Amino acid sequence: MFISRILKKLARPRPRKASAGIPQRLSAKLDRLQKQFDKADDFLVREFAIGPAQIPAAVAYLKGMVDDAIICQGLLKNAMLELRKVTPGKELDERSILAMIKQVVTITELEEVNRWEDLVVHLLSGHAILMVDGMGTALAVDVTGWEHRGVEQPVAEAVIRGPRDSFTESIRINITLIRRRLRDRSLKVETHKLGTRSLTDVALVYIEDIIDPAVLAEAQKRLQAIKVDAILDSGYIEELIDDCWWSPFTTTQETERPDEVVAGLLEGRFAIVVDNSPFVILAPTTINTLMQSPEDYYLPWMVVSTIRLVRFVGSFASLTLPALYISFIGYHPEMIPSRLAQSIEVARDGIPFLSATEAFLMEMALELLREAGIRVPGPIGQSIGIVGGIIIGEAGVRAGLVSPVMVIVVAATAIASLLVPTYSFALALRNLRFFLMLMASFLGLFGVTMGMLAILAHLAALKSFGVSMLAPWSPLRVRDLQDSLIRMPRMALQRRPGLFQIQDPTRLEDALPEGRDQ
């Protein structure tokens, strides 16, 4: 019985694979397109005749993906009218017809397509397909013209001083914004199509004579290894190429600012630009780069150094402040100065919850307010975040559910968390804050210490495309410390960061111009 089933399966006729080539007859091409785009009302075909010989031809495109004016003026008008004035060669073969078309079509980007799969991809990408009867090839004409958002001010990374333009959802505009700032012939853009169904355009951008070849090869390898049905945002790729998917820290950096991307490219990093996403991925990355703001390089170095120190202290406070409160109140009250301890004891008189429960309740209320502020419209969201926090804190104190000291701790934690310039890193700190609070609830200050050691050990083992996340502190690179916790004057930053293993280390030829004081 088993052998007979195998024989029956072998005897069944196997379906033939569709030919990869393009049919020569125009009717066969159109029939095949109509079958593949059945029930697609935005699929349009315009048939006409070209040349003195009135050769049947057609243009196929998707309505809304193309610019109708370019199709009418640059393609159809020239193909239907101007081709009549062109004298054909002695033999009206495929080559001569293509040469005639290229003489009159005024659109710059023309590409000959020999495979049917490529023809469909061009059509879905917003190109018009010009097909002629008797030709086994087609012409893909770039007439893209879909609606897109214009260049606006950054929302997530606003600065006081610096450029006010940000990336949009168009990959062409985004690459143009990068090239406007970096007019270097070594700037390379490699385009990939990722997603078996979405066929999303993804560009790998780097400076050829600066980036480490090993890092570039690894980035190309990870992009080519992506096998997914659709890429809807750069966050998809960010997760798929991450070095450690289970870590709360991302080993890449997202940004919506072109100037930050260009600065990263000049340091020997690469960028991944994804169509339909206003955020560009930068890698390799470290904790140091995640804590830097583009504005740091537009202000005087002494001011920036002070701001950076405040930023690092604030990020540490946002991570540990609630856990330290739980530890001191619940386990180590003897470490609190006597006057402060008396004030806290008086403020906590009558509170029905333990310090750990009180802290968890207030932190959860803060997270609820943050999420509510994000999900509702802008002006209302700001009101919910500010007014809601004041009302809930005041009501909790009056009702005797939380102490005023706890409200101060939560408010200070919320303000300190806003100092982190990278959103993904701020989210990681918010999650780890609850981990440290849990450790403090069971083990007090010893638990907080063990939790911090675990976080540091994880960061020390975490790498971003071969670069340690704790660089330049671990492994220690003294020269790269000039642009870490503080920023030295620009004249002192003569060389690029060595942690990215760049090819061209020189950034500034002369430390000081002639006539300047040393």
Higher pLDDT, 374 or 310: 310
Q: What are phi and psi of 253, to 5 degrees?
A: -125, 135
Q: What is the pLDDT of residue 279?
A: 96
The residues facing 115 across adjacent strands are 21
What's the Cα-to-Cα distance from 187 to each of 181, 182, 205, rounded to whole Å? Answer: 11, 8, 7
Q: 189 falls in which pLDDT band (50, 70, 90)?
A: very high
* Whole-number pLDDT of residue 373: 76
For residue 94, pLDDT over 90 is answered with no
Beta pairing partners, 140: 111, 129
Q: Give residue 400's region: left, alpha or beta (phi > 0; psi -120 to 50).
A: left
Rounded distance between C-alpha atoms, residue 87 and residue 103, angstroms: 11
| pLDDT (average), residues 8-28 | 62
Rounded distance, CA 7 to CA 72, Å? 58
Rounded to an integer, the average pLDDT of 137-144 is 88
Average the pLDDT over each of 2-11, 78-87, 207-216, 500-509 and give the range with the smallest value.
2-11
Backbone angles phi, psi at 254, to 5 degrees: -105, 145
Quickly state the pLDDT bin for 15 (edges 50, 70, 90).
Answer: very low
- Interatomic CA distance for residues 289 and 271, integer angstroms: 14
Reported confidence tier of residue 377, pLDDT bands at 50, 70, 90:
low
pLDDT on residue 458: 95
Closest-CA residue to 297 (of 285, 281, 308): 308
CB 463 within 8 A of CB 243: yes
Look at 516 and 158; give whichever has higher pLDDT. 158
H/E stretch holding 203 reads: strand 200-207
Band of pLDDT at residue 379, cut at 50, 70 and 90: low
Reply yes or no on whether the pLDDT at 137 is more than 80: yes
The per-residue pLDDT for 18 is: 44
Q: What confidence score (pLDDT) does residue 381 get?
A: 61
Q: What is the pLDDT of residue 28?
A: 92
Mean predicted confidence (pLDDT) in 429-445: 94
Please report, in angstroms and rounded to a whole number, the separation of the first and last CA atoms in the chain.
Answer: 94
Residue 54, C-beta contacts closer than 8 angstroms, at least 6 positions apart: none
10 Å CB burial of residue 454 (0-12, 13-18, 19+) is: middle
Q: What backbone phi and psi angles, to 5 degrees, belong to 448?
A: -65, -40
Angle at CA of residue 291, ends 180 and 187, nearest 5°: 25
Position 88 confidence tier, pLDDT thresholds 50, 70, 90: low
Which residues are paired to 110 by β-bridges?
A: 141
Least confident range from 11-25, 31-45, 241-255: namely 11-25
What is residue 86's predicted lDDT score, i.e. its pLDDT?
56
Average pLDDT, the chain: 85
Contact between 47 and 64 (Cβ < 8 Å): no
Specify the DSSP class assigned to residue 187. E
State how far the Cα of 253 lies from the Cα of 232, in Å rounded to an integer. 18
Name the β-bridge partners of 47: 58
Q: Residue 237 and residue 463: Cα distance in Å, rounded?
A: 17
CA angle 329, 332, 338 (to 5 degrees): 75
pLDDT of residue 403: 87
Amino acid occupying residue 108 = T
Confidence tier at 385 by pLDDT (50, 70, 90): low
Q: Which of 37-51, 356-370, 495-509 has the weakest average pLDDT?
A: 495-509
For residues 190-209, average pLDDT: 94
pLDDT higher than threshold 60 for residue 333:
yes
Non-local CB neighbours of 334 within 8 Å, separated by 6+ positions:
none
- Residue 79 token pair: 């193909």
Q: Is residue 1 scored above 60 in pLDDT?
A: no
From 226, 230, 225, 205, select the one nearest 216 (Cα to Cα): 205
Highest mean pLDDT among 89-93, 251-255, 341-345, 369-373: 251-255
